[in-house]
Amino acid sequence: MVVVAGVVVILSPLLVVVLLVAVVASAVDDAADTDSMYAAAGNVSYSIDGSTFVDVDANDNAWGGYSNGQIPPGELCVLAAAPQHRARCDASEAFARMASEFRAAFGNDIAVTDAYRSYAEQVATKRAKGYLAATPGYSNHGWGLAFDLGGGINDYGSVQYAWMKSNGHRFGFFHPTWAEPSSPDYAKSEPWHWQYVPTAAEAAAQATHGAPAGGGTPDANRELGRSMATSRGWTAGEWTCLERLWTGESGWNHRADNPSSSAYGIPQSLPGSKMAAAGDDWETNPATQITWGMAYIADRYGTPCKALAAWTSRSPHWY
């Protein structure tokens, strides 16, 4: 969390555990599906068994009037590099463009192990993988928007994964916040799982204007943060540090509300009302929170990497 006036509050072990859980999981008013993670009234909620494959309400990604996993084959398009798999047609076209550049860089196609999953396939996957799989009917695979990739992309330390992190967003492919190696939900870290958002511009627009319940998804917020960080000159390593810092603090959830303090939002401002200096809409607007958070980091630490170093050195973490 953010220190106030240089004062650090010593926490009991039990409270530390609560805070670490609350870093990403906000208190919610509406009950979440009992086997998924999704945004309820703008707040990210973890379920009892901790399945985190769905990070927004499944209905937010609905299209064509179909139900999740019940999309007719004729409405989906075959992936050129993996004809045994299908996806939503715009996702398939974007993937083909990305795969072409990947092939030029590495001399081989991107391996695809899964894309669209029918409802029956989701049931089978849930039965086989238990808590590691989403509740059937609540998977982005069921909308033809999630891709499981191999060929090196499935290894956090590979050059192929690094290429995806640097280039995927240009084609609308993003690595979900929960799947990051620095996510508080370590058991679910998945380098292979990528989700399609039509364009970075659309993701940014969703984060500030178009998302239900007054805000964007964590992944849209993170892409907005990337764009704003680039404008400030925080690219490459500095962006990576900022991404890791706020993944650890809030999971990029602009509704993240620490139940044991007044820390709030993407940067976990303490108190949250300090962000009013960046805008009156600080409670609901991810862009306002990011603006304030970047100004705070620049003023106190100079750069995101220096802020992350301070955060990492402290237990419990704060910056």
The verdict on 236 and 166 lying in the same domain is no
For residues 118 and 221, give the distance between their C-alpha atoms in angstroms, rounded to a whole number. 29
The verdict on 221 and 133 lying in the same domain is no
Query: Domain ends where: 196, 221, 256?
Result: 196
| Single-letter amino acid, residue 12 | S
pLDDT of the residue at 55: 46
pLDDT of the residue at 297: 96
Query: Domain ends where: 154, 180, 196?
Result: 196
Least confident of 88-97, 150-159, 225-234, 282-291: 225-234
**Looking at the whole model, is its pTM more than 0.85?**
no
Least confident of 107-121, 122-136, 170-184: 170-184
The verdict on 111 and 178 lying in the same domain is yes
Any idea what the CATH number is for the domain that residue 103 is in?
3.30.1380.10
In sign, the C-alpha dihedral spanning 221, 227, 231, 237 is positive
The verdict on 213 and 186 lying in the same domain is no
pLDDT of the residue at 313: 93
Q: How many domains does the chain have?
A: 2
Q: If you average pLDDT over each of 9-18, 33-42, 133-142, which comes out highest? A: 133-142
The verdict on 173 and 256 lying in the same domain is no
For residues 266 and 193, give the distance between their C-alpha atoms in angstroms, rounded to a whole number. 23
At 146, which helix (H) or strand (E)? strand 146-149
pLDDT of the residue at 12: 45
The verdict on 176 and 77 lying in the same domain is yes
Is 54 within a domain?
A: no
Q: From its phi and psi, is residue 214 left (phi > 0), alpha (psi between -120 and 50) or beta?
A: left
Is 165 within a domain?
A: yes
The verdict on 96 and 186 lying in the same domain is yes
The verdict on 85 and 187 lying in the same domain is yes
Cβ pair 249, 310 in contact under 8 A? no
Mean of per-residue pLDDT scores for the chain: 76
The verdict on 307 and 256 lying in the same domain is yes
Least confident of 101-110, 114-123, 165-174: 165-174
Is 273 within a domain?
A: yes
What is the span of the domain harbouring residue 218?
13-23+200-313
For residues 79 and 61, give the distance between their C-alpha atoms in angstroms, rounded to a whole number. 20
Is 42 within a domain?
A: no
The verdict on 187 and 245 lying in the same domain is no
Is 4 within a domain?
A: no
Extract the tokens encoding 101. 């550049």
pLDDT, tens digit (0-9, with 9 covering 90-100), for 170-185: 788 888 777 777 666 5
- Confidence at 57, pLDDT banded by 50, 70, 90: low
The verdict on 176 and 235 lying in the same domain is no
